[in-house]
Structure 1
Amino acid sequence: MTIIQMEILLKVVETGNFTKAGEELGLSQSAVSHAISNLESELGFALIRRNRTGVSMTPNGKEIIAYMRTMLNILEQMKQKAADIQGMQTGTIRVGSFPSVSIKWMPFILKKFHHEYPSIQVEIREGGYEQIEEWISGGFVDLGFLPFTTKKLPFDMSLLQKDRLVLLLPVHHALSQIKIPNLEQIAKEPFIMPKKGCDVQIRKMFKEKKLKPNVLLEIGDDHAIVAMVQAGLGVSILPEMTLPNAIENIHATYIGEETYRTIGIAASTFATLSPAAQKFLDLTETWIKGQAQ
Structure 2
Amino acid sequence: MAVTLAQLRALVAVHDFEGFAAAADEMGVSQSAVSHAITTLEAELEATLVIRRPAIALTALGSELLPYARSTLSSADALVATAARAAGNLTGTVRLAAPSTVCFGLLPKLLADWQQAFPAITVSVFEGDDPELVEWLDDGAADAAILVNPNHVPAGAVTVGEDRYCAVLRDDHPLAAAESVTARDLLDDPILISGGGCGSDVTAMFRAEDQRFVPAQRVYDNAALLNFVAAGLGVTVFPSIGMGMLAANTRMVPLAPAKERKLIFSGPSNRPWSPLVQALISNVTPSSAKFHEDGDE
TM-score, structure 2 as length reference: 0.84
Partner residue in 2 for 1:19: 21
Q: Any idea what SS the aligned residue of 1:176 has?
A: coil
Q: Which residue pairs with 1:260 in the alignment?
A: 260
- Aligned AA (1:289): S
Cross-structure match for 1:118: 119
Structure 2 residue aligned with 1:47: 49
Per-residue Cα deviation, 1:173-197 (whole angstroms, up to 9, x for no partner): 2223433233332222222222222
Q: Is the 8 A contact 1:191 1:217 kept in 2?
A: yes
Which deviations, in whole Å up to 9, do the C-alpha atoms of 1:101-132 show, x marking residues without a partner?
Answer: 11222221111111111111221122333443
* Larger displacement relative to structure 2 (209-218 or 226-235): 209-218
What is the alpha-carbon distance in structure 2 between the residues aligned to residue 223 and residue 166 of structure 1? Answer: 16
**Number of residue pairs aligned between Structure 1 and Structure 2:** 289
**CA deviation after TM superposition for structure 1 residue 209, in Å:** 4.3
Return the alpha-carbon distance in structure 2 between the equivalents of residues 259 and 235 of structure 1. 18
Deviation at residue 50 of structure 1 after TM alignment = 1.7
Between the aligned partners of 1:205 and 1:212, the Cα distance in structure 2 is 12
In the alignment, which of 267, 287, 295 is matched to residue 289 of structure 1? 287
Check conservation: 1:195, 1:219, Cα contact below 8 A.
yes
How far did 1:217 drift? 2.2
Q: Are the counterparts in 1 of residues 170 and 249 from structure 2 also a CA contact under 8 Å?
A: yes
Cα contact 1:144–1:266 (8 A) shared by 2? yes
1:51-92 deviation per Cα after TM superposition (whole angstroms, max 9, x unaligned) = 222131342x34444443333222211211112112222122
Aligned equivalent of 1:241: 241
* Residue identity opposite 1:127 in structure 2: G
- Give the CA deviation at 1:17: 1.0
- Which string of whole-angstrom CA distances, capped at 9 and with x for unpartnered residues, describes residues 11-52 of structure 1? 222222112222222332222222222222222222222222
Q: Which residue of the partner structure matches residue 163 of structure 2?
A: 163
Is the partner of 2:175 in helix, strand or coil? helix
- Larger mean CA deviation between 13-22 and 176-185 belongs to 176-185
Name the counterpart of 2:293. none
Counterpart of 2:287, as a letter, is K
2 CA distance for matches of 1:214 and 1:269? 36
Q: CA RMSD in A?
A: 2.9
Matched residue, 2:294: none
Unpaired segments ≥5 residues, structure 1: none
Q: What amino acid is aligned across from residue 52 of structure 2 in structure 1?
A: R
CA distance in 2, matches of 1:247, 1:290: 27
Q: Following the alignment from structure 1 to structure 2, what is the Cα–Cα distance between the partners of residues 26 and 251?
A: 44
* Cross-structure match for 1:29: 31
Q: Is the 8 A contact 1:187 1:214 kept in 2?
A: no
Q: 1:124 to 1:199 in 2, by over 3 A?
A: closer
How far apart are 1:95 and its partner, in Å?
A: 0.8
Cα distance between partner residues in 2 of 1:156 and 1:104 = 23
- Residue 196 of structure 2: aligned partner: 196
Cα distance in 1 between the residues matched to 2:50 and 2:246:
48
Q: Distance in 1 between matches of 2:17 and 2:28?
A: 14
Q: Which residue of 2 aligns with 1:109?
A: 110
CA contact (8 A) 2:191 2:235 kept: yes
SS state at 2:135 partner: helix
Compute the displacement of 1:238 (Å).
0.8
Q: Aligned partners of 1:218, 1:10: CA distance in 2, in Å?
A: 31
Report the equivalent of 1:273: 273
Q: Distance in 2 between matches of 1:157 and 1:51?
A: 43
Identify if the C-alpha distance between structure 1 residues 82 and 93 changes in structure 2 by more than 3 Å, giving closer, same or farther: same
Range with bigger deviation, 25-34 or 204-213: 204-213
* Partners of 2:167 and 2:236 within 8 A in 1: yes
Equivalent pair of 1:188/1:213 in contact (CA under 8 Å): no
Instruction: Give the match for residue 100 of structure 2.
Output: 99
Q: Which residue of 1 aligns with 2:7?
A: 5
Q: Judge which range, 209-218 or 255-264, deviates more.
A: 209-218
Counterpart mapping for 1:38-187 below 5 A: 38-59=40-61, 61-148=62-149, 158-187=158-187
Hey, what's the Cα distance between the residues in 1 that align with 2:148 and 2:136?
15
Identity of aligned residues (%): 26
Contact 2:181 2:255 in 1 (8 A): yes
**Residues 99 and 63 of structure 1, relative CA distance in 2, 3 Å threshold:** closer
